[in-house]
Amino acid sequence: MPTTPATATHSSSNGTAEAIMLELVDEDGITIGTAEKLAAHQPPGQLHRAFSVFLFDEQGRLLLQRRALGKYHSPGVWSNTCCGHPYPGEAPFAAAARRTHEELGISPSLLAEAGTVRYNHPDPASGLVEQEFNHLFVGMAQDELRPDPEEVGETAFVTADELAERHARSPFSAWFMTVLDAARPAIRELTGPSAGW
């Protein structure tokens, strides 16, 4: 099912088009309803379920992606390995694994839950708002990447020091540092103290 741009539809089993729907949640992450994807991101934003994935190679380097220029939200900026939204009723873990494969052509190894974080990040460039209850996941990227060019403009594996340098000179998604900081304890557990995360 295509998931970009936000207004994209997919065909149901009877051939009719369906809008992409997200799960709306309360402050505790309990599902309270659904909303169409683009509508949920219009100011002031509706709190919805999301996920963020951080994958690392054997050297403890983080896999970043630069979002494709055709994306409706935050095009052309660097961000974590993969992020997105579960479909209503879809488990965040399943959505994270599905979307990582759709975007990067790989199945994560040792994918593990790394907590949740709630945030409100307006995106000045698009005028959209990220009001998200975000489920975090960390794991390993051990297969050859096969990025979908409609989703991913570029990828890079970076050390903690290289990330700091890149972050200082390149645009990143508005949510990137929030989700990275929230995932750091699990990242350190996965990569070990020598990796510097």
144 as an active site residue: the answer is no
Determine the Cα–Cα distance for residues 52 and 83; give it in Å rounded to an integer: 4
Q: Which of 136, 151, 162 is nearest to 57 (CA)?
A: 162
Q: For residue 185, what are its two tokens?
A: 């304890």
Distances (CA, A) of 38 to 41, 137, 166: 5, 24, 30
Would you call 21 helix, strand, or coil by DSSP?
A: strand
82 as an active site residue: the answer is no
Q: Which is the catalytic residue, given 23, 103, 130, 132?
A: 132
Determine the Cα–Cα distance for residues 171 and 72; give it in Å rounded to an integer: 16
Q: Which is the catalytic residue, given 23, 82, 83, 103?
A: 83
The residues that are catalytic are 83, 132
